[in-house]
Amino acid sequence: MPIKWSAVEVSEAMDDVERQINLAESFLTEAKRKGAEARNIANLPQYIDQRLIRLMCDIERIDNVKNSIESVRKSIPDGAIEAERERFTHGSQQTLID
């Protein structure tokens, strides 16, 4: 049964999202490193250290975003992308009814 939405558009959107996440990943890694450095500041109170730990944990949640992207991709029915691309390659022909 054909789907009414574009599997190709969803797949391409996830490719775009993934590219953006990959670009951001190096910046987030650097931010996490700087957060770890901040934890080494002399005489840092525990409540600040706890907030820095939470910050670094939040930064690590980028993996949740990657898992969400993969979940969207897995939700696309098997063969839907290929079938849609095949239709575009060969064009869709309407049958003429008299």
Q: Determine, yes or no, domain membership for 95.
A: no
Distance CA 40, CA 33 (A): 11
Domain-embedded: residue 30 = yes
- pTM across the whole model: 0.71
65 inside domain: yes
- Going from the C-alpha of 70 to that of each of 40, 74, 76, 79, the distances in angstroms are 36, 6, 10, 16
Query: Mind listing the pLDDT tens digit for each residue in 20-78?
Result: 999 999 999 999 999 999 999 999 999 999 999 999 999 988 889 999 999 999 999 99
Which structural domain range is residue 29 located in?
7-90
Total tally of structural domains belonging to the chain: 1
> What are the backbone angles phi and psi of residue 38, rounded to the nearest 5°?
-60, -30
23-33 in b/e burial notation, b at 16+ Cβ within 10 A? eeeeeeeeebe
Identify the band that residue 89 occupies on the pLDDT scale cut at 50, 70 and 90.
confident
